[in-house]
Amino acid sequence: MKQIKALTCSNSQELLGRVTLNDKNIFNRSAYILVTNEKKLAKGYKAIVSTHDLSGSASTPYIKVGNISDFNDGDVINITTDGVICFLYEFNSTSNAIFATARCNHRCIMCPQPPVLQEKDRTDFNLDLIKLFDKNTQEVGITGGEPTMIGDRLFEIIRQIKKSCPKAAISILSNGVKFADIDYAAKLAACNHHDLQIDIPIFSDIASIHNHIVGAKTFYKTVQGLYNLAKFGQQIGLRVVIHKQTYKRLPQLADYIYHNFPFVTQVAFMQMETTGLAETNLKDLWIDPYDYNKELREAVLLLSNRGITTYIYNAQLCVLPPELRPFAKQSISEWKDVYLPVCDGCVLKGECGGFFSTNNNNISTHIHKIECTDSCTE
């Protein structure tokens, strides 16, 4: 998530509130944090974020920042006691997500955010957070860690999103293991959400390879979870992170998916983010994305030609062969999506997925500017 550090702050406890750039009626301020360039001492707000120093004159908690250009009306922010401002919801973003938990029952060798063993339950905080979302929000993700680690409280989050953001589609990123419990799958279906998809990773058609990658012997539980979700008519997406240990069998995995999970809504092949455990295990995982184009092409076309919606996530269009570019989707969250100087002037930049800012220069050696398409030679 996007974060900025305040220059000074006076809050003695963490603050959660919705950003307003304009004064609210005195009776409608309690959920809001006023963000202003003015030296304003308005009362009734949870806090005031200002470019001015209000120390000694404000009864309302104040936070001084260098500028307010990062803030938008309707954003939801959390301000820690040491002045770190976290943007938990961005009004103009299409990739807002609820972080359900940092715990996980897997330890994937390429996980960008390694799990923790214990933590304080954050569900009550998340329920309060969702209540501050704009009612016209179009999509909300639920991620972790593994969201099902919070048990039935996951369904509280779903119901609160349904209540606060009735138009929003929900995507849940889960390893699917918990849904091997048919009663748990039934509870998800009972939420009766109009547009909810569970995105579940599968890394190989061979159980032992998948289990090695996720760090647990759970392949068949994930498979059973998929069947249970399908039994209740849930939308399912499959995700395949591509690296040195998965790319060789992409065509076989695609064939396995087609024959065993024809009910899935979509399949996404994903370029790896090289941070967290992926960075730790980089020598065992990294392969130039250009070098798996052959296997990726075969897998994508096999599924697409058989009627399964197929995407490529996190990829750079200049590295993909032209026939695969229509499958590429901009999928990196805005706050960590960057482009290189070589991208300036590329005719495909506006459609390209860009790069993870966290990738620490682990990029293809085949990145180049495309100056023309279709009728001319690159």
Q: What beta strand segments (E) does 40-192 contain?
A: 47-50, 62-64, 76-79, 84-89, 97-101, 139-144, 169-173
Mean pLDDT across the chain, nearest whole number? 95
Distance CA 16, CA 77 (A): 6
Which has the minimum average pLDDT: 44-53, 69-78, 151-160? 44-53
At residue 302, what are phi and psi to the nearest 5 degrees? -60, -45
pLDDT at 272 over 70: yes
Give the model's pLDDT for residue 375.
Answer: 47
How far apart CA 29 and CA 40 sit, in angstroms, is 14
Model confidence, pTM: 0.93
Residue 19 has pLDDT above 80, yes or no: yes
Q: What is the pLDDT of residue 329?
A: 96
- Span 162-183, mean pLDDT? 98
pLDDT class of 374 with cuts at 50, 70, 90 = low
Domains and CATH numbers, the chain: 3-88 (3.50.30.10), 97-335 (3.20.20.70)
Tell me the mean pLDDT in the region 143-161.
98
Tokens matching residue 54:
């209000």
* Distance (Å, whole) CA 94 – CA 90: 8
Query: Does 282 have pLDDT greater than 70?
Result: yes
Q: What is the mean pLDDT of residues 233-262?
A: 98
Identify whether the C-beta of residue 176 lies closer than 8 Å to the C-beta of residue 200.
yes
Strand boundaries in the chain, DSSP class E: 3-5, 8-9, 15-20, 32-36, 47-50, 62-64, 76-79, 84-89, 97-101, 139-144, 169-173, 196-201, 235-242, 266-271, 309-313, 328-329, 337-338, 355-356
Question: Around Cβ 266, how many Cβ atoms within 10 Å?
Answer: 16
How far, in whole angstroms, is CA 232 from its chain's centroid?
25
pLDDT in tens, 112-136: 999 999 999 999 999 999 999 999 9
367 and 340 in contact (C-beta within 8 Å)? Answer: yes
Residue 205 has pLDDT above 60, yes or no: yes
Compute the distance between CA of residue 358 and CA of residue 338 in angstroms, rounded to an integer. Answer: 10
